[in-house]
Amino acid sequence: MGVDNDKIHAFVADAIELTNPENVFVCTDSAEDVKHVRKMAVETGEEKPLETDGHTSHFDGPSDQGRDREATKYLVPKTETLSKALNQIEREEGLAEVRGLLKDSMKGRTMILRFLSLGPAGSVFSVPCVQATDSWYVAHNEDLLYRTAYDQFCKIEKDKNVFCFLHSCGEMNEDMISVDVENKAIYMDYTKDTIYSVNTQYGGNTMGLKKLALRLTIRQADREGWLAEHMFISGVNGPGGRKTYLAGAFPSACGKTSTAMLPGETILGDDIAYFRKINGEFRAVNAEAGIFGIIQNVTEKNDPMIWEILHKPGEIIFGNILVRDKKPYWLGMGQETPDEGVNFSGQWHKGKKDANGKEIPLAHKNARYTVALTALPNCDPELENPEGVPLGGVIYGGRDPKASVPVQQAFDWTHGIVSYGASLETETTFAIIGEEGVMEINLMSIQDFLAIPLGKYIQNNIDFVKGIAKPPLVFGVNYFLRDKEGNFTNDVPDKHVWVKWMELRIHGDVPAIDCPTGQIPRYEDLVPLFKEVLGKDYTKEDYVNQFTIRVPENLAKIDRVEKYHKENVPGSPQEVYDTLQATRKRLQDAAEKHGDYISPFDLVS
């Protein structure tokens, strides 16, 4: 009753009546309440303490290890239509289905209510959210990942709109794993800014403020003229003590968190960014306040900072790793790992097979860790700035073995939005349930979360910079380019050099080479950067290998992108077709002059 808001009262009353919990715990964010959430996560068995102080481990079921596209649907009223590319169900029918699954789902359990804010609390960016869940694990994660806002909610206007999330694990087995995953449902009633999620525990399907809210904020941003993006934000240090903020969109497991967390730079966010025009400036905030990061391939050498955090006392939740003698292990950790332990499949030993005879890895590839940003020594000091930070550049990256160079700069905002964002093509990864390694278009890496027509979303991005004197530069990156033998053309740490080069470009400190697909770095500018940043001698051979313009592969990519837009993006802006056509022409003209594979040295005029 301390929160006097009509929508919240109606939501909570309905949620209680529907799910029928034994108790309701209202988390007021007091130290005592927060401690209670932590304690209950362990007491119920949803989390198990590990050896290091503050560390716990949680498992999701074997078929609940990632975001589930099939089970995630928009509830669309009969009178409306939504892009056919989006998974949807008629609203009344879907509501009946999901509410049927939620009926009495919390019987004998406690419903936890959390009051949280997306974006810094008390700012023009804030979006108030209410979460109801029967999972202490979900409530605990949200403590690390979001701004707690109970106090703000006590002052909320009676008629203020809020986002509401109702989650239940559904039936669980004795190990506290949801068993009815066949009946997983994550249904979005965007007409009421309310989302239902049931029979699942994986964070991306259950924590309302993560990807469920993103779908609603994209709609709100569309109505109000701002942008909600699937992007990290980091502060990159440049010459003379300056700092430049960059945001970047990558599909899951394509280098996003590691780009956000480069050693020596600061991290402001790793997953979701909001952009607004404030006094003619392009300003950005992190919607979140913590990291739900992929742990696979986190090594002491490549990710020293996160490695350290994961090994010292402090609040960390590990998800879907291997536990042996209360110690956490994961794939690609660059250390010897045990041959047995407990993982998402239960008691595990090397060679254990699943029901289909497939060998079960020691940990899931999508195993994750949750940590508050403020626990990191490199957390950017502007995290809570209510006006956000000014953005210098935007990066789009995918997993492209064949066509795109490792880094390039767009000729202008629209060229970048179209050629790197709306053309983002990537190999699918383990972060989504389904086949891996299939090439797919994933516009701006946000396609899974788009809840407005795709063409409208692209147009909003193109138009957003109108009236901004100095829009961010747009860059395209590809950490996954391979040579003829199938080897990667780059080492993992090279991304740091690309980011430092972008920083210089944003301030006009170095020239660049015009090529058909954008502007690429000069060899002589990369040599000192490789030396300073990585202590590496950068050879001409590496440069040519990485930055040769592959004309046939790029033309083929343009054809695929164009076909995709024609078939799947009704109302895709004319700028998309014009920009793709202009690039095609530049590639053809260049090939006539220099051949199909153009060394960057041939492009220097």
Q: Which long-range contacts (CB under 8 A, 24 or more apart) does 201-204 make?
A: 201/60, 201/61, 201/64, 201/135, 201/137, 201/138, 201/169, 201/177, 202/60, 202/64, 202/65, 202/66, 202/67, 202/68, 203/138, 203/141, 203/292, 203/319, 203/368, 203/370, 204/66, 204/67, 204/292
Residue type, 413: W
CA distance 330 to 57: 12
Among Mn ion, ligand SPV, none, what binds residue 587 when CB lies within 5 to 8 Å by partner kind? none
Q: Does 318 participate in binding ligand SPV (rule CB under 6 A)?
A: no
CA-closest candidate to residue 48, choices 61, 33, 38, 63:
38
CA distance 209 to 312: 27
With respect to ligand SPV, which residue has the nearer C-beta, 204 or 290?
A: 204
CA-CA distances (angstroms) from residue 321 to 57, 261, 324, 343?
8, 21, 10, 6
Catalytic residue among 164, 254, 379, 515: 254
User: 274 with 268: CB under 8 angstroms?
Assistant: no
CA distance 91 to 54: 43
Q: Does 252 participate in binding ligand SPV (rule CB under 6 A)?
A: yes
Among ligand SPV, Mn ion, none, what binds residue 431 when CB lies within 5 to 8 Å by partner kind? ligand SPV
Q: How far separated are the first and last CA of the chain, in Å rounded? A: 71
Beta bridge partners of residue 49, listed in sequence order: 56
Shortest reach from residue 9's CB to ligand SPV, in Å: 29
CA dihedral angle for residue 123, residue 125, residue 126, residue 129, rounded to 10 degrees: 180
Shortest reach from residue 456's CB to ligand SPV, in Å: 22
Shortest reach from residue 252's CB to Mn ion, in Å: 5
With respect to ligand SPV, which residue has the nearer C-beta, 271 or 525?
A: 271
With respect to Mn ion, which residue has the nearer C-beta, 252 or 460?
A: 252
Binder of ligand SPV out of 331, 395, 431, 497 (CB under 6 A):
431
Binder of ligand SPV out of 7, 38, 55, 67 (CB under 6 A):
67
Among Mn ion, ligand SPV, none, what binds residue 204 when CB lies within 5 to 8 Å by partner kind? ligand SPV
Binder of ligand SPV out of 147, 210, 283, 399 (CB under 6 A):
210
Two tokens, residue 417: 């939005």
Two tokens, residue 140: 């605990």
How far is residue 523 CA from its own chain's centroid?
A: 32
Residue nearest to ligand SPV (CB): 204
Two tokens, residue 385: 């700035």
User: 217 with 118: CB under 8 angstroms?
Assistant: yes
With respect to ligand SPV, which residue has the nearer C-beta, 284 or 432?
A: 432
Shortest reach from residue 293's CB to ligand SPV, in Å: 8
CA distance 552 to 591: 9
Residue type, 402: K
Contact flags string 261-280 toward ligand SPV, x per CB under 6 A: ----------x---------
User: 392 with 503: CB under 8 angstroms?
Assistant: yes
Among ligand SPV, Mn ion, none, what binds residue 67 when CB lies within 5 to 8 Å by partner kind? ligand SPV
Q: E strand or H helix at 529, and its extent?
A: helix 523-529
With respect to ligand SPV, which residue has the nearer C-beta, 254 or 418?
A: 254
379 flagged as catalytic: no
Q: Does 292 participate in binding ligand SPV (rule CB under 6 A)?
A: yes
Q: Does 424 participate in binding ligand SPV (rule CB under 6 A)?
A: no
With respect to ligand SPV, which residue has the nearer C-beta, 228 or 497?
A: 228
Among ligand SPV, Mn ion, none, what binds residue 496 when CB lies within 5 to 8 Å by partner kind? none
With respect to ligand SPV, which residue has the nearer C-beta, 70 or 339?
A: 70
Phi and psi at residue 349, to the nearest 5°:
-140, 155
Contact flags string 175-204 toward ligand SPV, x per CB under 6 A: ----------------------------xx
Q: How many CB atoms lie within 10 A of CB 99?
A: 17
Two tokens, residue 44: 């119920």
Q: Does 55 participate in binding ligand SPV (rule CB under 6 A)?
A: no
Number of residues that bind Mn ion (CB under 5 A): 1
Among ligand SPV, Mn ion, none, what binds residue 522 when CB lies within 5 to 8 Å by partner kind? none
Shortest reach from residue 29's CB to ligand SPV, in Å: 23
Shortest reach from residue 288's CB to ligand SPV, in Å: 10
With respect to Mn ion, which residue has the nearer C-beta, 289 or 590?
A: 289
CA distance 262 to 395: 15
Q: Does 211 participate in binding ligand SPV (rule CB under 6 A)?
A: yes
Shortest reach from residue 75's CB to ligand SPV, in Å: 20
With respect to ligand SPV, which residue has the nearer C-beta, 257 or 554?
A: 257
Among ligand SPV, Mn ion, none, what binds residue 565 when CB lies within 5 to 8 Å by partner kind? none
Q: Does 229 participate in binding Mn ion (rule CB under 5 A)?
A: no
Residues 259-278 that bind Mn ion (CB under 5 A): 271
Contact flags string 91-110 toward Mn ion, x per CB under 5 A: --------------------
Q: How many CB atoms lie within 10 A of CB 595?
A: 11
Beta bridge partners of residue 109, listed in sequence order: none
Two tokens, residue 481: 């380019």
Residues that are catalytic: 254
State the residues that interact with ligand SPV by CB under 6 A.
67, 203-204, 210-211, 252, 271, 292, 431
Q: Report the interface residues with Mn ion, using CB under 5 A.
A: 271
